[in-house]
Amino acid sequence: MLLHTIQRGWWVLALYGVISILFGIGAVVWPLSTALALAWAFGVMALAEGVTSLVALFDKSTPISKGWLVLYALASIAFGLVAVIFPGAVAGVVLLFLAAWLVVGGIYRIVFAIRVREQIEGEWWIGLSGLLSIILGVLFFAYPAAGLASVTVWIGAFVLIYGVFQVMAALRIRKLGSALPAR
């Protein structure tokens, strides 16, 4: 029965929840260190993926062309090495892409609000959201360390809440399991 299977694994949800809570606390308390650790962890994962892809080159039953596999393996290894050796640079570049996206998106929203002002009411809210997006993007460009810290704190806060929900769900599933008849 599915319910029995889910109930037996309640502790996995609880473990994910606790790990999320710990990560969330770390991100809120040490945001820059957490951002660097995340960039480094992505680098390690990319390296592992690149090495695995290189090994797959020698498998005759690999369903993808060898050319694409080599390209993917080399790109993964290159990104992985950069992220492991220079995690701050990787985190900073990601933040700069976010900043650029915010500025472009803000300009788009303002232009959109101006173009639809005759068709919709309250278009100024769209324009205002665009202006705020531009301001945030410019602030990220001007103060990248503060931007990286603030983004990491927000991610940490959401992950912390997610972890609490996971633990609550695990405890509910555990309690539900005790009410089930034995198999």
> Is 15 among the domain residues?
no
Same domain, 43 and 73: yes
Band the pLDDT of 63: cuts 50, 70, 90: confident
> Is 16 among the domain residues?
no
Report in angstroms the alpha-carbon separations of 109 from 48, 56, 115, 120, 139: 40, 45, 10, 14, 18
Q: In which domain, by residue range, is 161 found?
A: 26-85+144-178
Same domain, 80 and 149: yes
Same domain, 51 and 97: no
For position 8, what pLDDT does the model report? Answer: 79
pLDDT one-digit tens code per residue, 12-45: 889 999 999 999 999 999 999 999 999 999 999 9
For position 182, what pLDDT does the model report? Answer: 60
Same domain, 32 and 106: no
Count the domains in the chain: 2
pLDDT one-digit tens code per residue, 124-183: 999 999 999 999 999 999 999 999 999 999 999 999 999 999 999 999 988 887 766 665
Would you say the pTM of this structure is higher than 0.75? no
Same domain, 156 and 78: yes
Same domain, 34 and 79: yes
> Is 6 among the domain residues?
no
Task: Give dist(CA 136, CA 157) in Å, integer.
Answer: 19
Same domain, 43 and 129: no
